[in-house]
């Protein structure tokens, strides 16, 4: 900037004004400065701006798994909303590891980000509380909270789990399994709670709900769970499987197909998230749909509101309702010989 000022024959302050408040500068000088900038190929130094401003123009988004299309869709929504505000999203992948999550939070705090949007790995709030206490707003993504110190955007996962398993029960399935994990993840445990509730509501013994716990929410974890299901005798084997997310469901589907089990005839499957690949799967996958981009967008907007409103901000909790999309993977009435329909019926949950 000093060079620009010299070349344009003006003071440093004027250059700054041209960049930040052009209206204050006369057209003639403005022109000279702009030319000098072009001539020298001057590029603003964002670090210095941040240092001066005290805050960066970056928002941190910490997700569980960038390879999961659910999260990239959330990220896209967040990115759009941030761009409208001149902010940018810094995408961080915790990979479901507490240490990596902590490392990224450190990094983000050191960068003095405007705020953090996060789907936390654990349920330990201490680190996040610290962040908030030091002045970095936090918005919980894809998880509700009763915590007074932050906003949250979530989908009612209990309702989603309920809808999925109610659907399986309604279709006549008796041996039903839940595939998902780790249970430490709130999304997983909530969906499980919903599944259990559906059993109760359907007049079943909730203890009957079989549980296949997985370590990750990935395709390969799903394949492993699928192998375990395949390994069971026909009498033990569940006929309806609800998976905590679509990646697991796709993995299970792959494993079953690999062993010659037919979906939905031998085993029906319902996933969660309704990622684009769900409808494109070997057997189009029934799934509980979440408004993925909207979640990201809303979380970002809550954060921006919080920043603007300052101390007068009232933390808000936004909860969306999930929708069950019924496709071929579960769309067959048990104990009937009706052929699987492939209708893409999407209907409101519950």
Q: Classify residue 50 as exposed, middle or buried by CB count within 10 Å of its CB (0-12, 13-18, 19+).
A: middle
251 makes contact, choosing from DNA, a second copy, none, with CB < 5 to 8 Å by partner type, with: a second copy
* Binding residues for DNA, total number by CB under 7 A: 27
**Between 133 and 235, CB nearer to a second copy:** 133
* Residue 86 interacts with DNA (CB under 7 A): yes or no: no
- Of the candidates 85, 75, 76, 126, which has an alpha carbon nearest to the alpha carbon of residue 105? 126
Structure token digits, residue 32: 């000279």
Q: Does position 343 bind a second copy by CB under 8 A?
A: no
Residue 250 interacts with, from DNA, a second copy, none (CB under 5-8 Å by kind): a second copy
Choose, by CB under 7 A, the member of 31, 35, 49, 244 that binds DNA: 49
176/340 with CB nearer a second copy: 340
Number of residues near a second copy (by CB under 8 A): 44
Tokens of 13: 């302050």
- CA-only gyration radius of the chain, Å: 25
Structure tokens at 252: 């299970």
- Alpha carbon separation from 215 to 118, 184, 205 (Å, rounded): 20, 10, 26
**Binding piece for DNA, criterion CB under 7 A, among 23-31, 119-127, 245-253, 260-268:** 23-31
Q: Which C-beta is closer to DNA: that of 21 or that of 337?
A: 21
Token pair belonging to 171: 């279709």
Collect all residues with Cβ–Cβ distance below 8 Å to 247 and sequence separation of at least 6. 68, 217, 218, 219, 221, 222, 275
Nearest to 275 by CA among 305, 298, 249, 252: 249
Q: What contacts 196, CB < 8 A, 6 or more positions away? A: 206, 209
56 binds DNA (CB under 7 A): no
Q: Does 342 bind DNA (CB under 7 A)?
A: no
Q: Contact with a second copy (CB under 8 A): which of 24, 51, 232, 345?
A: 51
CB 39 within 8 A of CB 7: yes
List residues near DNA by CB under 7 A.
1-2, 10-14, 16-17, 19-20, 24-26, 28-30, 42-45, 48-49, 51-54
List residues near a second copy by CB under 8 A.
41, 43-48, 50-51, 56, 66-67, 69, 72-73, 75-76, 79, 88, 90-91, 93, 106-107, 109-112, 130, 133-134, 219, 250-251, 253-254, 276-277, 279-284
């Amino acid at each position: 900037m000093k060079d620009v000022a010299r070349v344009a024959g003006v003071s440093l302050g004027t250059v700054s004004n041209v960049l930040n408040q052009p209206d204050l500068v006369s057209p003639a000088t403005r022109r000279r400065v702009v030319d000098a900038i072009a001539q020298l190929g001057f590029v603003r130094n964002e670090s210095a701006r941040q240092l001066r401003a005290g805050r960066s123009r970056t928002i941190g988004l910490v997700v569980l798994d960038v390879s999961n299309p659910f999260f990239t869709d959330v990220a896209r929504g967040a990115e759009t909303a941030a761009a409208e505000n001149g902010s940018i999203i810094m995408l961080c992948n915790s990979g479901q590891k507490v240490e990596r999550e902590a490392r990224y939070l450190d990094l983000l705090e050191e960068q003095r980000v405007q705020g953090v949007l996060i789907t936390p790995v654990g349920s330990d709030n201490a680190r996040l509380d610290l962040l908030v206490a030091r002045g970095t707003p936090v918005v919980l993504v894809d998880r509700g909270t009763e915590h007074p110190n932050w906003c949250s955007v979530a989908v009612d996962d209990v309702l989603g789990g309920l809808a999925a398993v109610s659907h399986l029960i309604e279709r006549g399935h008796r041996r039903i399994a839940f595939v998902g994990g780790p249970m430490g993840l709130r999304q997983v445990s909530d969906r499980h709670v919903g599944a259990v509730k559906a059993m109760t509501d359907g007049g079943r013994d909730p203890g009957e709900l079989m549980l296949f716990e997985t370590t990750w929410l990935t395709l390969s974890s799903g394949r492993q769970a699928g192998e375990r299901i395949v390994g069971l005798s026909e009498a033990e084997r569940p006929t309806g499987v609800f998976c905590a997310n679509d990646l697991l469901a796709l993995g299970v589907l792959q494993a079953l197909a690999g062993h010659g089990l037919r979906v939905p005839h031998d085993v029906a499957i319902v996933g969660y998230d309704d990622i684009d690949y769900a409808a494109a799967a070997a057997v189009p996958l029934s799934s509980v749909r979440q408004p993925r981009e909207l979640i990201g967008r809303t979380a970002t907007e809550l954060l921006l509101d919080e920043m603007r409103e300052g101390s007068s901000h009232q933390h808000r909790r936004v909860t969306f309702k999930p929708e069950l999309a019924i496709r071929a993977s579960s769309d067959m009435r048990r104990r009937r010989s009706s052929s699987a329909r492939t209708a893409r019926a999407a209907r409101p949950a519950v």
